[in-house]
Amino acid sequence: MLTLSMSTQFAPERAGDRVEFAALGGRRLMLAEEALKNHVGHFYEYNRAVVDAHRPLGVETVVAAHLDVSPDVRSAIGAEPVFPQTSWDGIYAHSNPWRRYLSVAHHNYRVYSVMREFLRRRGPFDCVFAPTVTIHHVIGWQALARAELGHNMGRLVLFFRNSIGSYSGSGAPTLSGFKQRIWRHVFKALRPEIATGRILLATDSPQLAAEYELLAGAAPRVFPQPNFVTRNARETPFNPSEPFTFGCLGPARLEKGVDLFQEAIRIFLATCPEANVRFVIQWNHPIHLEDGSLLAVDPLLADDPRVAILNQEMDSAAYEAALLDLDCMVLPYRRASYAARISGVAVEAASAGIPLIFTENTWVADLVETCGVGIALRDEDVSDLVRALIETYRSREELSRQARARAPEARHAHSREAFLRALWPDL
């Protein structure tokens, strides 16, 4: 492991920043995040970063969260219990496709009714930011835009994280089907407000922006990841006497290749028993396989002192400590899910000066090309992942040095200031 010298706080606000962002003072921002309950998933960290970015600027930020939002999250970011249901809980996982289609209409109505009441009770807001919009929300937001723009919403930002196309192999996405027709219809209805700027379509990946532009007829603005966990690169060189720590952080899911990583660890330890290494996997909720069964932790790895399974819920401090304990972030994401989607943990690793192992021909590969360091692997190829682990271990000192040198580029691209300029284009 590396010895670290890092700060978790924002860089000191510069005089130029105060002048540039002075116009935000007194504005009201609302974040609508129905799945925000606790520290599991990306929901808390993302919303916390947005709230923290606005707090010193005099912006009142209101977070509409799930009814079951935990007291510590409520206290930390002022989250209010609002949404009685979230589509992310699997409440619409019906085997019958028609029931799934009906659930889309049902949940959109829930979003509309809950948000309309909240806006009329707590508004008006200069900007309403919906950071996680899917097919289960977009129709509801379309109806809210018609009812509340100019009244309780000055501007609406709809942020899309997930691909609306399907990927196979290394080719371009396929954009045809029932869901895509719904998207086209909604975007067509929103075009007048999009043209005037009262509705801003946004995403965090150029690839996703290109997908949505094909359906919307307008290119969403690409936001940086609000990466405020890591502000400084590692300042001390890699210590070869310490175990080199590979890790996969973020909520473990099948699409993120945790099963591939687990198998690769087993092969690596059998192939290179003399290697001075540690492996860390964040595995703090059940992982379902395609047949509905649960993926189990390999008992041999669970009993191996070189492997740590992080199976407890982690708050920001615990997550940051786990991140800063790594020497390499391993992200064997399946391209079918992550060809166009970003990875917040990849941004955080690059910003901290941590090299990555990543799937080729994905957004993470583009991140490494522009502001990171790492080794690519073939999609869903365990043997190639083992090869990447071995290659990284053998080149660990040089990769660590290169990653530290490129960290300022990642921090600049995903800074608080860059995020604020994207969210408030009128500055």
Residue 124, preceding bond cis, omega within 30 degrees?
Answer: yes
Contact 284, 38 (CB under 8 A): no
Contact between 188 and 199 under an 8 Å Cβ cutoff? The reply is: no
The full length of the chain comes to: 427
Q: Where are the beta strands (DSSP E) in 187-251?
A: 199-203, 221-222, 244-248
Structure token pair of residue 216: 């919307």
Rounded to whole angstroms, how far apart are CA atoms 223 and 203? 6
CATH entry 3.30.930.10 includes domain 15-223: no
Give the C-alpha separation, 37 to 79, whole Å: 9
Determine the Cα–Cα distance for residues 26 and 61; give it in Å rounded to an integer.
10
The DSSP output letter for 88 is G
pLDDT attached to residue 179: 77
- What is the distance between the alpha carbons of residues 36 and 65, in angstroms, rounded to a whole number? 5
Helix, coil or strand: residue 258: helix
Tokens describing residue 422: 């994207």
The answer to whether the 15-223 and 244-413 domains have the same CATH topology is yes
Closest listed residue to residue 319, CA positions, set 38, 112, 51, 81: 38
Nearest Cα residue to 328 out of 314, 345, 313: 345
Alpha-carbon gap, residue 266 to 275, rounded angstroms: 13
Is the separation of the CB atoms in 413 and 367 below 8 Å?
no
Residues 183, 202, 232: CA angle, nearest 5 degrees = 145
Q: Environment class of residue 5 by beta-carbon count within 10 Å: exposed (0-12), middle (13-18) or buried (19+)? A: exposed
CA angle, residues 314, 320, 322, in degrees to nearest 5: 75
- Using alpha carbons, select from 13, 20, 14, 11 the residue that is nearest to residue 56: 13
Find the helix packing angle between 344-352 and 396-413, rounded to 10°: 110
Both tokens of 159, joined, read 């942020």
Structure tokens at 388: 């990447």
Architecture of domain 244-413: 3-Layer(aba) Sandwich (3.40)
pLDDT less than 70: residues of the chain: 1-19, 41, 165-176, 227-238
Rounded to two decimals, what is the model's pTM? 0.79
Domain ranges, ordered by start, for the chain: 15-223, 244-413
pLDDT tens digits for range 178-195: 778 888 888 999 999 999
